[in-house]
Amino acid sequence: MTGNIRLLSDTLARAKSEDRAALIAYLPAGFPTVDGGIEAIKAVFDGGADVVEVGLPHSDPVLDGPVIQTADDIALRGGVRIADVMRTVREAHTATGKPVLVMTYWNPIDRYGVERFTAELAEAGGAGCILPDLPVQESELWREHADKHGLATVFVVAPSSRDERLAEITAAGSGFVYAASLMGVTGTRESVGAQAQDLVGRTRAGTEMPVCVGLGVSNAEQAAEVAGFADGVIVGSAFVKRLLDAEDHEAGFSAVRALAAELAEGVRKR
């Protein structure tokens, strides 16, 4: 195991050794600005996040809810580019020494060039990539370059995934498995749903990789619920909403730091 995938794996293993779930936060690059996005990630790490996923803003984020769509639109109107995403990863990782991944749809990587993207992400200190819309059977080129550069390839599984499909996905992935706890787009929910626990159990049956649950957690109580059966709790929309609702950037950074602290406490109550 090479590169920052080791840092990611060690971070998740350390959380497990502490008998808790890891807290994984999502924030899009370029939101509220490129510099502001970097500061927001630092604030989330400062609050207690173990890992951060940096979103690569996309003009058609079909799997994201309205909160993240709004943030992506702000970032894109601000002119964010892949170079800004790489800078965000580099500065956030360098400042904190913690694992930073990129979450992106496949199309921007395909246009940019797989070798170029993986080489730049590794050089920036990135731990890997979450690719929610890349089918496993079409992922060989990506995985070849990701492996060469020591990057994790995180695939997403859903409640609709059959057991044989779960086995195929987990065999191809690395780092951790992203389990989508509820069907449909991302966003906060009043309840994380019972589907998630069943999905985690079925996924774990075919892999020793950590299984981390995303889509819907917005407070410490929900984080504790998910931490009771998952290796990691992924939170995105709740952080983005704190930034959107803030009266200025500094207030937004304080708000996401406070939310991270609340959620970090929640994942310790498994």
Catalytic residues: 53, 64
Phi first, then psi: what are they for 196, rounded to 5°? -60, -45
Q: Are 72 and 28 in contact (CB under 8 A)?
A: yes
Copy the structure tokens of residue 163. Answer: 């057991």
**Distance, CA of 148 to chain centre:** 22
Q: What distance in Å separates the CA atoms of residue 5 and residue 122, rounded to the nearest whole number?
A: 10
DSSP H helices, the chain, are 5-17, 34-47, 66-77, 82-96, 106-112, 114-123, 140-148, 163-172, 195-204, 220-227, 237-245, 249-266
Q: What distance in Å separates the CA atoms of residue 181 and residue 190, rounded to the nearest whole number?
A: 13
Location of structure tokens 């930073």:
100
Copy the structure tokens of residue 208. Answer: 């020793």
